Amino acid sequence: GESVGLHLPTLSVQEGDNSIINCAYSNSASDYFIWYKQESGKGPQFIIDIRSNMDKRQGQRVTVLLNKTVKHLSLQIAATQPGDSAVYFCAERGDSSYKLIFGSGTRLLVRP
Amino acid sequence: GAGVSQSPSNKVTEKGKDVELRCDPISGHTALYWYRQSLGQGLEFLIYFQGNSAPDKSGLPSDRFSAERTGGSVSTLTIQRTQQEDSAVYLCASSSFRYGYTFGSGTRLTVV
């Protein structure tokens, strides 16, 4: 499966700053994408999703951008808080399957 | 139920023993998924069930792994003759049709 071992990319930001987490996906036919947040010892928690017929979707303090041309997904978190510290995963779903394929994850550290 | 429930939350077993992991999905969700997450790594797809269709078993790593879903609800993942490399967190998710993927908190399996 997808993995980068213990060497997860890490993004360190100052509390109150905006964070941008990036993800490259693999299947140009994928039609649905989700961002998950995972805190230590817990299961992945849904943050926001986007369908392939959109290029931007906003939630509370979060925005997801989709660039299908270069198969790139990003998660923007506004006014990052200490509680946002976690590992963030993007997931894609192919148009002919129900299963989600996960990216390798990015660790977000928020400095007080 | 209100969320996806998994049991046990932790399981320590001796090498060579069989284990059963249980997942109780969100009521009404037709699809159920099993993923495996090794320490510090991403989520590896194992198997999914959709309604009465034949399950997609393409992610099962060996014939020691099997899963069933009874009555379209509760699912059991069975690992026979456990090996140390089976140690991981096993995560279950359910979804309604093709959206709303919700994960449980996982079962942490340790094979000693």
pLDDT one-digit tens code per residue, B10-46: 999 999 999 999 999 999 898 999 999 998 788 999 9
Q: Which residues of A touch B95 (CB under 8 A)?
A: 98
C-alpha torsion sign, points A109, B3, B7, B8? positive
How far, in whole angstroms, is CA A55 from its chain's centroid? 15
Task: Please write down the HEC assignment for all residues of B13-57.
Answer: ECCCCCEEEEEECCCCCCEEEEEEECCCCCEEEEEEEECCCCCEC
If pLDDT is split at 50, 70 and 90, which confidence band does B1 have? low
C-alpha torsion sign, points A26, A28, A30, A33? positive
CA-CA distance, B82 to A74, in Å (whole number)?
38
Q: How far is B6 from chain A (nearest CA, A)?
A: 10
- Which chain B residues in 16-45 lie under 8 Å from chain A, judged by CB atoms? 31, 33, 35-36, 38-45
Q: How far is A100 from chain B (nearest CA, A)?
A: 8
One digit per residue, pLDDT tens: chain A, 112 residues?
A: 333 334 689 999 999 999 999 999 988 999 999 999 999 989 999 999 999 999 999 999 999 999 999 999 999 999 999 999 999 999 999 867 788 999 889 999 999 9
Q: How far is B104 from chain A (nearest CA, A)?
A: 6
The minimal CB distance from A102 to the residues B38, B40, B43 is found for: B43
**What pLDDT does A7 receive?**
63
If pLDDT is split at 50, 70 and 90, which confidence band does B52 have? confident
State the average pLDDT over residues B53-59: 92
Q: Which residues lie closer than 8 Å to B54 by C-beta, 6 or more apart? A: none
The answer to whether the beta carbons of residues B100 and B90 sit under 8 Å apart is no
CB atoms within 10 A of CB B2: 7
